[in-house]
Amino acid sequence: MTDQTTIIPFSTSQHSKAQVANIFFERPEFEAILNIYGKMVASGHWKDYAISGSKDEAVFAVFQKASERPIYRITKTPSLRHKQGAYAIIGSQGQVLKRGQELRQVLKHFDKKLIKLVQ
């Protein structure tokens, strides 16, 4: 008896077209966001966060309380990279508060909330 087996490879072309990579924050971007998040939590402004990624954008949402809608959304939309800037801070009502090409410059929007008057 001889065992003649035929190996038939699965077609990978159908799977690669159906799968679209999700957008997420890269490590340096995420570190910058968590740095400002930690400062805002320590100052009592923020309490919770959520992260999501889709094929169009990555979102870091910030909450004052876990049961509410986010007070800020920090978004990364690579398709807007050459137009308005890939990064944006969006307020709770959907208004764009700051937009730019570099994340660290966009995150400076929160620095004014950390300044406290000392007498």
- Where exactly are the structural domains of the chain? 22-111
Predicted TM-score (pTM) of this structure: 0.75
Cβ-proximal residues to 104 (8 Å cutoff; 6+ apart), any chain: 32
Contact 52, 59 (CB under 8 A): yes
* 21-49 pLDDT tens trace: 888 888 999 999 999 999 888 888 888 89
pLDDT, tens digit, 9 for 90 and up, residues 45-103? 888 899 998 898 999 999 987 667 889 999 998 887 888 888 999 998 889 999 989 99
